Structure 1
Amino acid sequence: MKEFFHRKIERNAIGFVLAIVGVASIGGIVEIAPLFTIGETVEEAPDMRLYTPLELAGRNIYIREGCYACHSQMIRTLRDEVERYGPFSLAVESQYDHPMLWGSKRTGPDLARLGDKYSDAWHVAHLINPRDVVPESVMPKYGWLMRNELKYDDLGLHLAAQRKVGVPYTDDMIANARWDAYGQANPDSSYAQGVAERYGEATNIRVFDGEPARITEMDALVAYLQILGRLTDAAHQTAAAAAEE
């Protein structure tokens, strides 16, 4: 009976096309329908702040080096994940991530709550040679990040591109992007205060790689790693509210 039904459909070109359209439409509706309720899905986070130019540069390096292939940035609602990594990830935490880096591959641990978990010096040592701080690590070395000076002259263009896809960078942020990147990694410079004024007093402003004489790719990547999970406190507030119920 099934064989007869398939033969009948396959020999009827119009019927076969309509069947394909019908099945494809079902899949499309399943994927598209949730977008109509996206406003109800994404939580509100009044304290949400933007990536600074230096942190955005670090994120670009993170993507360039393929770090997302071994590290996810999404903590599931499973008990063992929450106990190991912290509060489960919320949609609002990734609203300014283009592209998003949730991932599912975990050769290394999830990094969604990595910010401020370790010192800058730990991150620098770990990236130069992971085995120096985690003997069993299989992570590659990234020592060249310490040698490569960061190209930050075009960071304004990066912020402008992000604004095109909905990230609310202001004209002032875009115009001062290169100097804000320099100032964030050089707290003794005259540009450091501008970073705090544009991105908030809680912004990490310090020499991330331990060498104040120049701004390196290591500065940028460590600055990015140190802000993961700290752009908003929404997840911790949600966890605290759930614990009180």
Structure 2
Amino acid sequence: MSEPLHGRLERTAVGFMLAIVVAGSVGGLVEIAPLFTIHETVEDAPDMRVYTPLEAAGRNIYVREGCYACHSQMIRTLRDEVERYGPYSLAVESKYDHPMLWGSKRTGPDLARIGGKYSDLWHVAHLINPREVVPESNMPSYQWLATTPLDLADLRDQVAALRTVGVPYTDDMVANAPADAFGQANPDSEQSSGVTERYGQDTQVSAFDGVKTRVTEMDAMVAYLQVLGRLTKAAYQNTAAPEQMPNPNN
């Protein structure tokens, strides 16, 4: 009875090494080849905008606090998910996300389309004491966000870092990052007009935490949550408008 091929390969170091190279090359090709056609698979979204400095800071806090460990941001194409959360997630909606926060763990609901579903103060109350608004919640409290000042001076470097990985921030956006973060959280301030000028009229300018005399990490977190699913309307082109979609916590 003849010896099987793998047996002969294992007897020859050179042959075995070549077999490993071939197998690795095939696996690598399968992973790398799609990247050359990625421009054909990512949807076109002319209305897509970048995160404001305040929203980007909120996203960093969201990552820092490990929120992604319990909340995914990726609605699948399954019927029950679409009926509960809204239109399934598109690749273009994560175009400026570094890192991606798609995830698969759902101790809490998916947050891909949480933006605009609740008021700013609802989010503040939920983050301070989750059980005050959702009695059955097992989410921990993040009350310190409301008393921790946001480091505005660091935002210019944060925005500049995002630009180095492909997010199209302009020099004007980078230079005005601290002022824009302050202005977005203080609608009565002189800096607030610059936010809509640089990021668009649909950008939400609000005293997110309810206090206009300061900018806290709570402001940043709520600003980020309120923009989730609202950077582009591409997912709603063939479906209902955002305000018509079902409540994600039902």
Residue number in structure 1 paired with 2:243:
none
Q: How does 1:79-228 map to 2 (within 5 A)?
A: 79-228=79-228
Amino acid at match of 1:210: G
> CA offsets per residue over residues 172-225 of structure 1, 9 Å max, x none?
000000000000000111100001100111110010001111110000000000
- Residues 183/23 of structure 1: CA separation in 2 closer, same or farther (3 Å cut): same
% identical equivalent positions: 73
Residue number in structure 2 paired with 1:231:
231
Amino acid at match of 1:9: L
Q: What is the number of residues matched between the two proteins? A: 240
- Residues 149/3 of structure 1: CA separation in 2 closer, same or farther (3 Å cut): farther
| Partners of 2:40 and 2:218 in 1: CA distance | 38
| Partners of 2:25 and 2:165 in 1: CA distance | 27
Which portions of structure 1, spanning 4 or more consecutive aligned residues, are displaced by more than 3 angstroms? 1-7
> CA offsets per residue over residues 136-185 of structure 1, 9 Å max, x none?
11111100101101001121111111111111100000000000000000
- For structure 1, the residue ranges without an aligned partner over 5 or more in a row are 241-245
> CA offsets per residue over residues 65-92 of structure 1, 9 Å max, x none?
0111111111111111100000001111
Partner of 1:153, secondary structure, is: helix
- For structure 2, the residue ranges without an aligned partner over 5 or more in a row are 241-250
Amino acid at match of 1:63: V
Residue number in structure 2 paired with 1:65:
65
| Partners of 2:61 and 2:70 in 1: CA distance | 15
| Partners of 1:215 and 1:165 in 2: CA distance | 27
Shift of 1:4: 4.7
| Partners of 2:13 and 2:141 in 1: CA distance | 57
| Partners of 1:184 and 1:223 in 2: CA distance | 9
Partner of 1:29, secondary structure, is: helix
Amino acid at match of 2:36: F
Residue number in structure 2 paired with 1:15:
15
Shift of 1:3: 8.0
| Partners of 1:19 and 1:106 in 2: CA distance | 41
- Residues 5/134 of structure 1: CA separation in 2 closer, same or farther (3 Å cut): same
Partner of 2:8, secondary structure, is: helix
- Residues 131/21 of structure 1: CA separation in 2 closer, same or farther (3 Å cut): same
